[in-house]
């Protein structure tokens, strides 16, 4: 199985060690949220220089606060500094409460905004110039763009049919969070496959991310997931994809249970059409020792499955 973990630690040095340990444990990737280390790109470049093959991806950098030309230049600069292939750019328009209330920007046309953004970023990541006039974004590089030394895959955080079609047209695939097997199988993959066939593009990559806890008490594990998911309240995009997966909250769609059950649920995600699994181990327990032991148990299973290939 291609299994990755959530990336991030209290310091850049610890992030480098985390990447080295994850690579040694057989994990294929680490995925960094936009707020990791304030901005994850510098730490990712340093972690990439200290490792050999593990993929380091953003999940995701926000589109609205950064012009696509600037975004592409800074990502390519980080990838070039990394000195090897393996940096993956995951982008997303974020959520209305963040864009509107925190950034003070309009969220009236997120699909149109994202489509124009990817229309610019995609060619730039391939080292091409762009000459685009859009409603929300425009760019005319004329040789001023930074050139990548290695390929940089582009993934989109896409959950709605329109956003999935945008991903199929302009990206290499999607990076999902909180999309359970049912949502991947019935909502994500059919739209992606149909759209990539229509556009004559390769079958897309589908990175499916979920909280994971290997634990014998399923209820206790789900309670731990719920306690760590309060930030998702009021985020309409997450609420919709959780409902599409048959749940009402993050705890309902998390992958929890003893080793055999977690293995079965991970395989079901792959059978539904996911190409990569992104696991966020959840600590379960009432004290520090118990919580640490639960995370070690979860990572041990994930590492064993990752090593199987």
Question: What pLDDT score does 6 carry?
Answer: 98
Beta-strand runs (E) in the chain: 3-6, 29-32, 55-58, 61-62, 87-92, 131-133, 138-140, 154-156, 173-177, 205-214, 255-257, 276-281
Structure tokens at 165: 């079609």
Look at residue 243 and tell me whether its pLDDT is greater than 80.
yes
| Gap between the Cα atoms of 186 and 180, Å rounded | 10
| Gap between the Cα atoms of 126 and 51, Å rounded | 24
Question: What CATH class is the domain 1-157?
Answer: alpha beta
| Gap between the Cα atoms of 206 and 189, Å rounded | 8
| Gap between the Cα atoms of 207 and 274, Å rounded | 6
Look at residue 8 and tell me whether its pLDDT is greater than 80.
yes
φ, ψ for residue 17 (rounded to 5)?
-60, -40
Higher pLDDT, 205 or 94: 205
The 10s digit of each residue's pLDDT in 174-196 is 999 999 999 999 999 999 999 99
Structure tokens at 164: 């999935």
Look at residue 238 and tell me whether its pLDDT is greater than 90.
no
Could you give the 3-state DSSP secondary structure of residue 183? helix
Beta-strand runs (E) in 215-275: 255-257
Q: Tokens 């500094």: give the residue.
A: 81
| Gap between the Cα atoms of 161 and 189, Å rounded | 10
The 10s digit of each residue's pLDDT in 94-111 is 888 888 988 998 999 999
pLDDT band of 150, cuts 50, 70, 90: very high
pLDDT band of 144, cuts 50, 70, 90: confident
The 10s digit of each residue's pLDDT in 210-221 is 999 999 999 999
Look at residue 230 and tell me whether its pLDDT is greater than 90.
no
Question: What pLDDT score does 231 carry?
Answer: 78
Question: What pLDDT score does 247 carry?
Answer: 95
Look at residue 151 and tell me whether its pLDDT is greater than 80.
yes
Look up residue 148 and give its DSSP letter. P
| Gap between the Cα atoms of 275 and 117, Å rounded | 25
Q: Where are the domains of the chain?
A: 1-157
| Gap between the Cα atoms of 125 and 169, Å rounded | 15
């Amino acid at each position: 199985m291609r299994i990755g973990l959530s990336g991030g630690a209290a310091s850049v040095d610890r992030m480098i060690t985390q990447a080295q340990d994850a690579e040694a444990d057989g994990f294929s990737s680490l995925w960094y949220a936009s707020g990791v280390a304030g901005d994850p790109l510098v730490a990712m470049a340093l972690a990439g220089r200290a490792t050999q093959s593990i993929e380091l991806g953003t999940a995701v950098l926000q589109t609205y606060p950064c012009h696509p030309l600037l975004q592409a230049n800074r990502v390519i600069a980080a990838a070039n500094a990394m000195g090897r292939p393996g940096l993956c750019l995951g982008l997303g328009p974020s959520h209305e409460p963040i864009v509107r209330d925190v950034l003070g920007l309009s969220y009236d046309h997120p699909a149109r905004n994202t489509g124009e953004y990817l229309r610019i970023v995609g060619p730039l990541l391939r080292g091409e110039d762009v000459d685009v006039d859009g409603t929300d974004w425009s760019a005319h590089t004329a040789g001023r763009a930074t050139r990548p030394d290695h390929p940089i895959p582009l993934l989109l955080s896409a959950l709605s049919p329109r956003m999935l079609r945008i991903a199929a047209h302009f990206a290499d695939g999607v990076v999902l969070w909180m999309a359970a097997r049912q949502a991947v199988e019935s909502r994500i993959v059919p739209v992606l496959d149909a759209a990539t066939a229509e556009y004559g593009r390769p079958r897309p990559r589908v990175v499916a991310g979920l909280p994971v806890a290997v634990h014998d008490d399923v209820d206790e594990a789900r309670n731990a997931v719920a306690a760590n998911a309060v930030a998702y309240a009021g985020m309409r995009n997450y609420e919709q994809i959780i409902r599409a997966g048959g749940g009402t909250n993050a705890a309902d769609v998390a992958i929890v249970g003893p080793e055999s059950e977690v293995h079965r649920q991970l395989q079901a995600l792959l059978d539904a059409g996911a190409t990569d699994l992104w696991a966020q181990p959840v600590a379960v327990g009432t004290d520090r020792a118990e919580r640490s032991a639960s995370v070690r148990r979860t990572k041990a299973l994930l590492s064993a499955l990752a090593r199987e290939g």
